[in-house]
Every structure is written in C-alpha cells, then in structure tokens.
Amino acid sequence: MIKTLPAIVAALAGVVLIGLALWRWHDHGWGSLIWLIALIAMFVVRTPHSLRNRANVVTQARKDATEITLLAGMFLTTMVLPLLYLATDMFDFADYAAPDWTVWIGTLAQIPFLWLFWRSHADLGRNWSPGLEVREAHELVTDGVYDRIRHPMYAAIWISALAQPLLIHNWIGGFLVVPAFAAMWFIRVPHEEAMMRARFGEAWNAYCARSGRLWPKRYYDGAPS
C-alpha cells in the first residue's frame, strides 16, 4: 500500500489537472484542446499494456541516474508542465505568439503520432517496457510496424514532441519537450540498442542492416542504402 500511495496521489492530481485544463481550454486556444485529447488517447493506448506487463519477469534493467533523469525530464515536459500551464495561470509570462496555421499542422500531426503509438505498442506486446529492460523470454520483434523501422515508438514521440509547441504556445508548457526528448533520443537509444545487441547478437545486427532507426531504409537492387 505504501508503494502504491504515491502513484494513486499522482494519478488523482493528474485527473484534477486534466479536468481543469479541459475547463479552461478556451483561455489558451483550441490547440490546447487538441493536445489534451491526444494526451487522453495516449493514456488509453498505453495503460492496458502497462498493467499487463507488470507481470513480466525482468532479467536485465538499466536504472542509473542518467535513465532516471531522462525519464523525469520527459514526464515533466510531456505531462506536468503542460498541464500546470493549461490548468492554471502559471507560466503565462512565457507565452509566445504563433500563426493559426501552426495549430493546424500540430493537429494533423496527431494522426500519425497516435497511429504509430498504438501500433508500436500492439506489435511489441509483452516485449514493451517503459524502462530499459530485457524480460524473460524477450523476443526480437521485426514484423508489423517494426518491419523496416527499429524505433517506431520513438518516431511517434518525436512527432508528438515537435507538434506540442505548435499546439501550446508557451516556452515552458509547450516547447521544453523538444530538448527533453532530443536528450532522451541521443543518450538513451544507443544504450537501448546495445542491450538488444547483447541479447540477440547477429539477429539484431541483421535487423539493423535492413531497417532504419526512424525511417525505412531505401533498397536498390536488393541492397539497403
């Protein structure tokens, strides 16, 4: 009970902030409403996988200070700071002006973001984890959306991160997610790929040879380029 209490408190606080942000969306424009809808959809996609995969037996995990800092930075910039901004008058001093077309681009970007986010969770199944972990009976997934892209979930989050400042016109509540996720991408992904290489060996190397990290490799005469 002691371990779950902070999670319950955090969840209740999140619900309250989301409710307040929805109530006040008109104060920040309709882009904020699109962002909130996408945030709720993201929770709907991820929560069943999080609950199911708690039963996974983890055989290797990286939980050092760097990993904790990166995850904390993402949690702050993708959820806490935007919700505090939208639900209160906090950070209004950091607003910036942007043309209406930026909101339309941010809105359209939610389509590939949510599709990739859903599909990558569905294709990974029990192999997904929010942290850098290898589970017992871990499998190398190379089909579905992972056929030609090694990191479709990161691709989805890149889309979301770049769209957030287009929907939320605030340097703290909207823009800070971009450098936060850039740090995660450039620091975390090499460690993640090293774990996969150690686990799967030549199968991973062969997969890397035919797949791109965020975008499919092009093929000419059967050879990747």
Predicted confidence (pLDDT) per residue in 123-175, tens digit: 998 888 888 888 888 889 999 999 999 999 999 999 999 999 999 999 999 99
Q: What angle do CA 17, 35, 102 make, to 5 degrees?
A: 140
Residue 218: the pLDDT is 66
What's the structural domain count of the chain?
1
Rounded CA-CA distance 170/77 in Å is 12
**Whether 83 contacts 17, CB under 8 Å:** yes
Q: 3-state DSSP call for residue 170? A: strand
Domain that holds residue 190: 4-224
Q: 3-state DSSP call for residue 55? A: coil
Closest CA to 210 of 138, 123, 130, 142: 142
88 phi and psi, to 5 degrees?
A: -135, -175
- pLDDT at residue 10 above 50? yes
Residue 217: the pLDDT is 81
Closest CA to 90 of 30, 20, 34, 35: 20
Closest CA to 25 of 82, 79, 86: 86
- pLDDT at residue 5 above 90? no
State the average pLDDT for the chain: 90
Q: pLDDT, tens digit, for every residue of 42-99?
A: 999 999 988 888 888 888 888 889 999 999 999 999 999 999 999 998 999 999 999 9
Written as six digits, the tokens of 210 are 């035919």
Q: 3-state DSSP call for residue 61? A: strand
* Encoded amino acid at 104, one letter: W
Q: What is the CATH number of the domain that holds 47?
A: 1.20.120.1630
